[in-house]
Amino acid sequence: MFKLNNLELSESLVKHYIELTTKAFEKATPLVEKGSEDGKKLDSMLKMSLDYLNDAKYFLEKGDLLRAYGAINYSHAWIDAGVRIKLLDGHGDDELFTLP
């Protein structure tokens, strides 16, 4: 367990955020045409998000909670940014996304 300023970083907390980010991945849908310039930008953003999600799972498996927590937050941020700049539709879910 890692503790910083009364925040306890635990395996269950990291797993919670991995689950939340996975839900965000499943819920968000493209608002741009595949193959278009914006579609290519979105593909790049989603690849970054997926890479960070996989990194989080890897670090969690290795017991590196700090890096796992950082990676899952980056992952979610990429999806959230896609919703915020209207490349992805967050379907009005203001718990998973920062809506425009």
C-alpha span between 70 and 66 (Å, rounded): 6
Residue appearing with tokens 């839900």: 23
Strand extents, DSSP E, the chain = 2-4, 7-9, 29-30, 88-89
Averaged pLDDT, 21-29: 97
Residue 2 has pLDDT above 60, yes or no: no
Residue 6 binned pLDDT confidence (cut-offs 50, 70, 90): low
How do residues 26-50 score in pLDDT, each as one tens digit?
999 999 999 999 999 999 999 999 9
The closest alpha carbon to 53, from 89, 25, 94, belongs to 25
CATH entry, 10-89, from 1.20.1270.90, 3.40.50.740, 3.30.930.10, 1.20.120.1200: 1.20.1270.90
Least confident of 1-5, 7-11, 38-42, 55-59: 1-5
pLDDT, tens digit (0-9, with 9 covering 90-100), for 47-91:
999 999 999 999 999 999 999 999 999 999 999 999 999 999 999
Judge residue 75's burial from the number of C-beta atoms within 10 Å of its C-beta, 0-12 exposed, 13-18 middle, 19 or more buried: buried
